[in-house]
Amino acid sequence: MSFATRLLAALGLLFGACVAQAAIIDTSAQWNGSSGISPFGHTNTATYGQTFVAPETASYLDSWTFFLNDMTAGAPVDFSMYVMAWDSNTTRATGDILFASDQVSTTNNGGQDGYEAFTFATGGLVLDASASYVAFISTSEWTAQQTGTAYVASLGAKDGYKDGGFFWLNNGTRTSYWTERMWRSSSDYGDLVFTAQFSAFAAVPEPGVLGLFLIGLLALLGVRRRINA
């Protein structure tokens, strides 16, 4: 096999692996499409979360989806989604915020349109496959806009995900309580309905990066030809 062929084969394996190695945790297939927990909102329970462990073969979190159904027409729920490390012994978040989304709002007219999917691109967040984390939604930073309450989709009493569970915190506007206070849980509620997508690499290289790599490859081939000439 020639030098060029070997390099191109290696390149194909590299980028093929970036695309192929992925994992999904999805509890939505176990959901009846209507069960949920409420009320989620600033004046009620401000924070709803799901603990999880990243797959060993794909520990970069690319996206997370929660499902919400608002309860009052004209009164959206404003919230953000976060990811933090989780201390299973004290049942609380720990360390710094690893990911925080922009503000989003429910838009489904007081539940008339059913549950609404909210997908958050987490950008290949690097996680430790041996550690626990919590992905959660909270109204705590958006109290000026907060007006409504909502249901958050859940599996009822079903334990649909063995490596984590549903936790909540009545913390109002106090974001420091995420790490300072014990979060609550109950087997009556099972897991939240969510979809989490992971990959084995931080990101598939951008086209521009691939172009630069190919330019470098061609340059190396040119040097090799001159040496062999």
Question: DSSP readout, 100-164?
Answer: EPPPEE--STTTTT--EEEEEEEEEEE--TTSEEEEEEE-TT-TTT----EEEEB-TT----TT-
Rounded distance between C-alpha atoms, residue 70 and residue 50, angstroms: 19
- Judgement on whether residues 159 and 59 belong to the same structural domain of the protein: yes
* Contact (Cβ atoms closer than 8 angstroms) between residue 76 and residue 148: yes
- Judgement on whether residues 223 and 122 belong to the same structural domain of the protein: no
The count of structural domains within the chain is 2
Domain that holds residue 131: 22-200
- Judgement on whether residues 162 and 210 belong to the same structural domain of the protein: no
Rounded distance between C-alpha atoms, residue 17 and residue 22, angstroms: 9
From residue 80, alpha-carbon distances to 101, 130, 138, 184, 222 in Å are: 5, 26, 6, 20, 52
- Judgement on whether residues 107 and 86 belong to the same structural domain of the protein: yes
- Judgement on whether residues 117 and 194 belong to the same structural domain of the protein: yes
Mean pLDDT of the 29-50 span = 93
- Judgement on whether residues 142 and 215 belong to the same structural domain of the protein: no
227, pLDDT greater than 80: no
pLDDT tens for 195-217 read 999 999 755 555 554 554 556 55
In the chain, count H helices and then E strands: 3, 12
Residues of the chain above pLDDT 90, percent: 62
pTM value is: 0.80
- Judgement on whether residues 7 and 39 belong to the same structural domain of the protein: no
